[in-house]
Amino acid sequence: MKTSQNLNKIISKFPKTELKSEKVELSVVGDISKLSKEITSQIKKTEQEKIKLKEANDRALDVREQGVDVFDRAMFIREEAKDGAKTLGVEANDIKGFKEFDDNISVLSKAFQSLLKMVK
Protein backbone atom coordinates (compact mmCIF):
# COMPACT_ATOMS: atom_id res chain seq x y z
CA MET A 1 0.00 0.00 0.00
CA LYS A 2 2.79 2.37 0.89
CA THR A 3 4.44 1.60 -2.41
CA SER A 4 1.41 2.72 -4.42
CA GLN A 5 1.03 5.82 -2.26
CA ASN A 6 4.70 6.64 -2.77
CA LEU A 7 4.30 6.06 -6.47
CA ASN A 8 1.29 8.41 -6.61
CA LYS A 9 3.27 11.08 -4.76
CA ILE A 10 6.14 10.72 -7.21
CA ILE A 11 3.79 10.86 -10.19
CA SER A 12 2.02 13.91 -8.79
CA LYS A 13 5.36 15.73 -8.70
CA PHE A 14 5.78 15.35 -12.49
CA PRO A 15 4.86 18.52 -14.30
CA LYS A 16 1.31 18.14 -15.50
CA THR A 17 1.93 20.06 -18.69
CA GLU A 18 4.40 17.43 -19.82
CA LEU A 19 1.79 14.72 -19.44
CA LYS A 20 -0.75 16.83 -21.27
CA SER A 21 1.65 17.58 -24.11
CA GLU A 22 2.50 13.89 -24.41
CA LYS A 23 -1.21 13.08 -24.62
CA VAL A 24 -1.68 15.77 -27.23
CA GLU A 25 1.30 14.49 -29.19
CA LEU A 26 -0.05 10.93 -29.07
CA SER A 27 -3.47 12.18 -30.13
CA VAL A 28 -1.99 14.14 -33.04
CA VAL A 29 0.07 11.13 -34.13
CA GLY A 30 -3.10 9.04 -34.17
CA ASP A 31 -4.99 11.71 -36.10
CA ILE A 32 -2.14 12.03 -38.61
CA SER A 33 -2.03 8.30 -39.13
CA LYS A 34 -5.80 8.02 -39.57
CA LEU A 35 -6.08 11.05 -41.85
CA SER A 36 -3.08 9.98 -43.91
CA LYS A 37 -4.93 6.80 -44.79
CA GLU A 38 -8.07 8.80 -45.62
CA ILE A 39 -6.06 11.24 -47.76
CA THR A 40 -4.46 8.38 -49.68
CA SER A 41 -7.87 6.80 -50.22
CA GLN A 42 -9.35 10.11 -51.35
CA ILE A 43 -6.47 10.71 -53.79
CA LYS A 44 -7.09 7.28 -55.31
CA LYS A 45 -10.84 7.91 -55.61
CA THR A 46 -10.24 11.34 -57.14
CA GLU A 47 -7.85 9.94 -59.73
CA GLN A 48 -10.32 7.17 -60.60
CA GLU A 49 -13.13 9.70 -61.06
CA LYS A 50 -10.91 11.92 -63.20
CA ILE A 51 -10.24 8.94 -65.49
CA LYS A 52 -13.98 8.16 -65.67
CA LEU A 53 -14.77 11.80 -66.41
CA LYS A 54 -12.14 11.96 -69.17
CA GLU A 55 -13.51 8.76 -70.71
CA ALA A 56 -17.08 10.11 -70.53
CA ASN A 57 -15.92 13.39 -72.04
CA ASP A 58 -14.21 11.54 -74.90
CA ARG A 59 -17.32 9.42 -75.51
CA ALA A 60 -19.49 12.54 -75.54
CA LEU A 61 -17.25 14.15 -78.14
CA ASP A 62 -17.38 10.98 -80.23
CA VAL A 63 -21.19 10.97 -80.03
CA ARG A 64 -21.28 14.59 -81.06
CA GLU A 65 -18.94 13.97 -83.98
CA GLN A 66 -21.10 11.07 -85.19
CA GLY A 67 -24.19 13.19 -84.67
CA VAL A 68 -22.79 16.06 -86.72
CA ASP A 69 -22.46 13.66 -89.65
CA VAL A 70 -26.09 12.56 -89.21
CA PHE A 71 -27.18 16.18 -88.82
CA ASP A 72 -25.37 17.28 -92.01
CA ARG A 73 -26.90 14.44 -94.02
CA ALA A 74 -30.34 15.21 -92.56
CA MET A 75 -30.02 18.88 -93.46
CA PHE A 76 -29.07 17.92 -97.02
CA ILE A 77 -32.11 15.62 -97.33
CA ARG A 78 -34.31 18.30 -95.74
CA GLU A 79 -33.28 20.85 -98.35
CA GLU A 80 -33.70 18.30 -101.15
CA ALA A 81 -37.22 17.52 -99.92
CA LYS A 82 -38.12 21.21 -99.66
CA ASP A 83 -36.78 21.90 -103.16
CA GLY A 84 -38.59 18.85 -104.57
CA ALA A 85 -41.84 19.85 -102.91
CA LYS A 86 -41.52 23.39 -104.25
CA THR A 87 -40.92 22.03 -107.77
CA LEU A 88 -44.09 19.96 -107.49
CA GLY A 89 -46.03 22.93 -106.09
CA VAL A 90 -46.69 21.35 -102.66
CA GLU A 91 -45.60 22.09 -99.15
CA ALA A 92 -42.71 20.08 -97.71
CA ASN A 93 -44.86 19.26 -94.68
CA ASP A 94 -47.21 17.42 -97.06
CA ILE A 95 -44.46 14.82 -97.64
CA LYS A 96 -45.11 11.79 -95.44
CA GLY A 97 -42.82 11.89 -92.37
CA PHE A 98 -41.26 15.26 -93.24
CA LYS A 99 -42.70 17.21 -90.30
CA GLU A 100 -41.46 14.66 -87.75
CA PHE A 101 -38.11 14.46 -89.58
CA ASP A 102 -37.75 18.26 -89.51
CA ASP A 103 -38.71 18.43 -85.83
CA ASN A 104 -36.16 15.72 -84.98
CA ILE A 105 -33.42 17.71 -86.71
CA SER A 106 -34.20 20.61 -84.36
CA VAL A 107 -34.19 18.30 -81.33
CA LEU A 108 -30.81 16.90 -82.40
CA SER A 109 -29.38 20.39 -82.80
CA LYS A 110 -30.52 21.38 -79.29
CA ALA A 111 -29.15 18.12 -77.85
CA PHE A 112 -25.73 18.90 -79.37
CA GLN A 113 -25.72 22.38 -77.90
CA SER A 114 -26.65 21.02 -74.48
CA LEU A 115 -23.97 18.33 -74.71
CA LEU A 116 -21.29 20.82 -75.72
CA LYS A 117 -22.09 22.97 -72.68
CA MET A 118 -21.42 19.95 -70.46
CA VAL A 119 -18.22 18.83 -72.21
CA LYS A 120 -14.97 20.53 -71.25
27-42 pLDDT per residue, tens? 777 888 889 999 999 9
The domain segmentation of the chain, as residue ranges, is 15-118
DSSP assignment string, the chain: -HHHHHHHHHHHHS-HHHHHHHHHHHHHHHHHHHHHHHHHHHHHHHHHHHHHHHHHHHHHHHHHHHHHHHHHHHHHHHHHHHHHHHHHTS-GGGSTTHHHHHHHHHHHHHHHHHHHHH--
99 has a pLDDT exceeding 70: yes
- Give the mean pLDDT of 56-74: 91
Note the pTM of the prediction, 2 decimals: 0.59
Question: What is residue 104's predicted lDDT score, i.e. its pLDDT?
Answer: 95
Banded pLDDT at 112 (limits 50, 70, 90): confident
